[in-house]
Structure 1
Amino acid sequence: MNENNFDLIITIVNKGHSSEVINAAKTARAEGGTVINGRGSGIHEVAKLFGFLMEPEKEIILTLVDANKTEQVLQAISDKVGINKPGKGIAFVIDVKRAVGISHYLNN
């Protein structure tokens, strides 16, 4: 197991915007990301279309980065997606204690 210093940037955006997040992360020297589909359940997540209640679909992007790159990648995502504007999404960082299966990352 590896105990290097990694962070996990989790970004949640409306469906169709994950490519913007991944492209921004890559320009900031992240290697990519993993996209997971989801749906919102907050008080602001329900919309009406022709009288039917709809819960907007979300995309969750997981980006594992070296902790030295975290601020740069997070700022690039924020700038590209406009995450600080209402309704654009949310991004947060979790400290990763251990990671396995990333030998390609460690050999660079």
Structure 2
Amino acid sequence: MHFKLIIAFISEDKTDKVLKTARERGATGATVINHARGEGLKPTKTFFGLSLETQRDVVLFLVEEHLSRKILESIAETGGFEEDAGAGIAFQVDVEDAIGISHQMRKLTQVVGDEI
């Protein structure tokens, strides 16, 4: 079984919706890192030296490769990544090896079998 890591940078207010969507599409879990900061196309504005940027959540999904594209597209749609500038971004990378996921692999074997 091969895996992909989907990394999503999401507005805090959309994190729960994105997590729910990913689960509905086959993700078996996620890791959420709260209060990340970043800068997009335009630099963040400041007011008397204080940054006025919005906080983001970084969400990591380790997903089976056959499910990854569907999950990636679904979370992008839920998060409004293509519609709203600054709503968030997501991308996936290949995972060469993973350990500690044998319980998820048993569940995924059935899910992926149904998908293929």
Band the TM-score falls in, shorter-chain normalisation: 0.7 to 0.9
Deviations 1:19-44 (A, max 9, x none): 12111101111112110121114453
More off after superposition, 18-27 vs 58-67: 18-27
RMSD, matched Cα: 2.0
Distance in structure 2 (CA, Å) of the matches to 1:42 and 1:79:
19
Distance in structure 2 (CA, Å) of the matches to 1:71 and 1:27:
14
The DSSP-based 3-state class of the residue aligned with 1:16 is: helix
Structure 1: give runs of 5+ residues left out of the alignment. Answer: none
Structure 2: give runs of 5+ residues left out of the alignment. Answer: 108-116
Whether 1:5 and 2:20 are equivalent positions in the alignment is no
Residue in structure 2 matched with residue 69 of structure 1 by the alignment: 67
Deviations 1:56-77 (A, max 9, x none): 2110000110000011111111
The DSSP-based 3-state class of the residue aligned with 2:74 is: helix
Alignment of 1:75-86 (within 5 A): 75-85=73-83, 86=85
Q: Is the 8 A contact 2:81 2:89 kept in 1?
A: yes
Residue in structure 2 matched with residue 54 of structure 1 by the alignment: 52
Distance in structure 2 (CA, Å) of the matches to 1:45 and 1:57:
14
Residue in structure 2 matched with residue 90 of structure 1 by the alignment: 89
The number of equivalent residue pairs is: 105
Greater share of residues in strand: 1
Greater share of residues in helix: 2
Whether 1:28 and 2:25 are equivalent positions in the alignment is yes
The DSSP-based 3-state class of the residue aligned with 1:17 is: helix
